[in-house]
Amino acid sequence: MAERFLGSSVYADVATPDPEALAELVHVCLNNGRVFLAEVEGVVVGMLAVALFPHPMTGVLMGEELAWWMEPEHRGGILGPRLFAEAERFCQLAGASLFKVVAPRGADQVSAFYARRGYLEVETAWCKALTAQES
């Protein structure tokens, strides 16, 4: 699912999926967070990966959404919001006082969903693919 996300979003311009890195992402989430799955009739149709760690400037425990994907045919329903609510609940029960989430550029529906849940837009991220410099 993470590969489909990277390949179908604006991140495709700056990131290429690496199976070993994606396996490490799962390892990080399972050791320091959770990976939540949505299933329909035994088929996984969505996932949300969360990691917990101290905020680098305040030291407070925070949760961070590292990957959230719903198969296109399952977007707009109740499954995505349920995954999100479970991730929030997990962070709260773990003692986190902040949950950081992101939305890809142009994902107005996702941004509106966050705003309805009380999230504040606090920054905009910019990415540039870098190439090795010639010596």
The tens digit of pLDDT for each residue in 59-117 reads 999 999 988 999 999 998 999 999 999 999 999 999 999 999 988 878 888 899 999 99
| Contact yes or no for 15/6 (Cβ under 8 A) | yes
Residues for the chain: how many in total? 135
pLDDT of residue 120: 94
pLDDT of 129 strictly over 90: no
* CATH superfamily, region 19-116: Gcn5-related N-acetyltransferase (GNAT) (3.40.630.30)
Specify the pLDDT at position 71: 93
Return the closest-CA partner of residue 3 out of 57, 60, 67.
Answer: 67
Q: Report residue 54's pLDDT band, with 50, 70 and 90 as the boundaries.
A: very high
pLDDT of 89: 97
128 CB burial (10 A radius; 0-12, 13-18, 19+):
exposed
pTM given for the model: 0.82
How confident is the model over 119-127, as a mean pLDDT?
87
**Alpha-carbon distance 28 to 64, whole Å?**
12
Token pair in block for residue 30: 């399972």
